[in-house]
Amino acid sequence: MVLRAALLWLSEQRGIFSFIRGNRLARRFAARFVAGETVEAAVAALAELNAAGISASLDLLGESVTSAAEAGAARDTYRETLDRIRQTGADSNVSVKLTQMGLDLDERLCVENMRAIIAKARSYGSFVRIDMEQSAYTDTTLRLFRRTFHPEFGSTVGVVLQSYLRRTQQDLEEMIALGARVRLCKGAYKEPPDVAFPDKRDVDANYVRCMERLLERGNYPGIATHDTKIIAHAKDFARRGGVAPQRFEFQMLYGVRRDLQQGLRRAGYNVRVYVPFGSHWYPYLMRRLAERPANIAFLLGNVVRESLRRS
């Protein structure tokens, strides 16, 4: 718990990134979870996944931009990404963070940037998932989705709900009533106990409750987890309730539990992998370390091997 909190704190320290980015080992470790720094590298990574029958969602790394120019550049990269997906015929949509589109600077700017991305996705018959960030953004994200993006773009755009938040069951019912496409995840940020369940068992139990509701009533929900118990529960619940495998998809992160991704696909389930790319990989990587501190051992193991080779 303390280690998770420390890693999540580190994920928010911008100053450390410039040091880490220059570090060869950190870059090598990042390569396990990040498809590359450019659109071309990201699109190339899709080929292998798609060949195994796995869909993708491309995510340009970067959050909390500090200028309109930065937000505009991210918007343009997303539009270019949608073009490249279209040109290559890859099976992928995109995932976008509102703070990357300028939410902290000016809500209208963020909405305009998002409209430009979602309109392009719609013209290609593609889809835009709005990632969910820290709880300080939950209200605004859901409000913009409910009042602006969903009315304008319908099922071309979807949201994410996090089972660690105490409010999520209520949000979920609203989203189900709206017919919104929801991705359900546990939640990756450092949150206070009055906002998020501090005990992992409560997070997992809430996940299962929300997942069952989505399987029964949701619009093609994304079950985003690597938790094998929860995945087994989903399969069993769907089978018993007569929910066909085509009515939902499992979602996992690039580089995490590839065996599970492929096994589910071979068993006939829809699987989508979230594929991050770009140069701003530090906060993303730190959140992945926080989820599974054993990844630190993997990183340190590389450091030791590398230094032994040099000595």
Ligand X SMILES: Cc1cc2nc3c(=O)[nH]c(=O)nc-3n(C[C@H](O)[C@H](O)[C@H](O)COP(=O)(O)OP(=O)(O)OC[C@H]3O[C@@H](n4cnc5c(N)ncnc54)[C@H](O)[C@@H]3O)c2cc1C
- Spatial neighbors of 96 by CB under 8 A, at least 6 apart, are 59, 60, 78, 114, 117, 128, 129, 130, 131
User: Could you give the C-alpha distances from 307 to 25, 32, 311, in angstroms and in order?
Assistant: 11, 20, 6
Residue with Cβ nearer ligand X (82 or 211)? 211
Distance of closest approach, residue 3 Cβ to ligand X, in angstroms: 13
Give residue for tokens 């709880």.
135
Residue with Cβ nearer ligand X (39 or 130)? 130
Distance of closest approach, residue 294 Cβ to ligand X, in angstroms: 7
Give residue for tokens 């005990």.
199
β-pairing verdict for 55-60 and 157-162: unpaired
Distance of closest approach, residue 200 Cβ to ligand X, in angstroms: 7
Half-sphere exposure for 211 (CA within 13 Å, toward CB): 30
Distance of closest approach, residue 57 Cβ to ligand X, in angstroms: 7
- Spatial neighbors of 77 by CB under 8 A, at least 6 apart, are 39, 60, 278
- φ/ψ bin of 64: left (φ > 0), alpha (ψ from -120 to 50), beta (otherwise): left
Active-site residue set: 131, 183
Q: Would you tell me which residues interact with ligand X (CB under 6 A)?
A: 131-132, 160, 162, 185-189, 224-227, 251-253, 256-257, 274, 288, 291-292, 295
Residue with Cβ nearer ligand X (194 or 259)? 259
Residue with Cβ nearer ligand X (58 or 242)? 58
